[in-house]
């Protein structure tokens, strides 16, 4: 099946060393990405780190910063699209590189990378879609803004779970993992340009469940900063309304492949 992937440039610093890629979508993360990579370096994680950049202009993805922090490759999106385009770019590149699974984590240093071995273990055991959750036993939600907590727990997770017929608890969390089998399945059809923003995250969760892929949630810690501006790409009523509209379209099946039923 033809992949619709945005034009991008791949800057490779070293060869593939592991079976799993850790893909980090970023856009102007300033010092947050560097701090996160430093934490990962101290953990000596058995993954290859791939930065999926959406066009940063703040110098945060320069080779001088990334190479000493054990990054394997930097992918720089040149074509259109937002988060979904960055992920399609990263997934396609990772599949071409021969990885057996891909883990995703935001690059704003809110997520504790110490949970990454749980995702690796689940992938190695044959799970196909792993969702990180701060709301299950072992997970921690630290300093979560009250409106974000209410939105996820009372609106987003219940609606998406109903559509998927699988009980998700933390559906806006980008700390996830996917097996190669799932990403390559033509029934999933993830490499379509229509999945250019948050659609892809929500679509993957619903479609994977409807098709019967093995899914689990694993506990993670997400901590918002104690002081200063909240690192997020979603802000204000306009941003939150756009998220709800996207969720509604996913629930209705508007992004399902044409001519394919579950």
> What's the mean per-residue pLDDT of the chain?
94
The average pLDDT across 84-98 equals 98
pLDDT 10s digits, 19-55: 999 999 999 998 999 999 999 999 999 999 999 999 9
pLDDT for residue 235? 52
Report yes or no on whether pTM surpasses 0.75: yes
pLDDT for residue 262? 61
E strand or H helix that includes residue 50: strand 48-53
Q: What is the DSSP letter of 124?
A: H
The average pLDDT across 219-242 equals 73
Beta-strand ranges (E) seen in 70-192 are 71-77, 101-104, 129-133, 140-142, 176-179
pLDDT 10s digits, 106-165: 999 999 999 999 999 999 999 999 999 999 999 999 999 998 899 999 999 999 999 999
pLDDT for residue 226? 83
Domains and CATH numbers, the chain: 8-251 (3.90.550.10)
3-class secondary structure, 78: coil
Query: Is the per-residue pLDDT at 261 higher than 60?
Result: no
């Amino acid at each position: 099946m033809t992949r619709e992937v945005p034009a991008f440039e791949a800057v490779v610093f070293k060869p593939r060393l592991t079976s799993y890629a850790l893909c980090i979508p970023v856009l102007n993360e300033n010092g947050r990405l560097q701090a996160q990579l430093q934490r990962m370096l101290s953990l000596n994680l058995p993954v290859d780190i791939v930065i999926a950049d959406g066009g940063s202009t703040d110098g945060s993805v320069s080779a001088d910063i990334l190479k000493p922090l054990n990054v394997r490759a930097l992918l720089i999106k040149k074509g259109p699209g937002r988060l979904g385009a960055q992920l399609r770019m990263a997934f396609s590149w990772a599949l071409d590189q021969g990885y057996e699974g891909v883990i995703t984590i935001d690059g704003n240093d809110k997520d504790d990378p110490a949970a990454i071995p749980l995702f690796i273990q689940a992938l190695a055991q044959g799970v196909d879609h792993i969702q990180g959750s701060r709301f299950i036993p072992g997970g921690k939600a630290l300093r979560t803004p009250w409106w974000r907590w209410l939105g996820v727990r009372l609106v987003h997770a219940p609606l998406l779970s109903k559509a998927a017929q699988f009980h998700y608890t933390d559906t806006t969390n980008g700390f996830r993992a996917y097996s190669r089998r799932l990403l390559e399945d033509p029934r999933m059809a993830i490499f379509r340009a229509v999945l250019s923003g948050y659609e892809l995250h929500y679509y993957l969760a619903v479609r994977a469940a409807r098709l019967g892929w093995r899914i689990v949630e694993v506990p993670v810690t997400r901590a918002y900063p104690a002081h200063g501006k909240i690192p997020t790409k979603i802000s204000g009523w306009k941003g939150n309304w756009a998220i709800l509209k996207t969720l509604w379209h996913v629930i209705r099946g508007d992004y399902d492949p044409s001519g394919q039923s579950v």
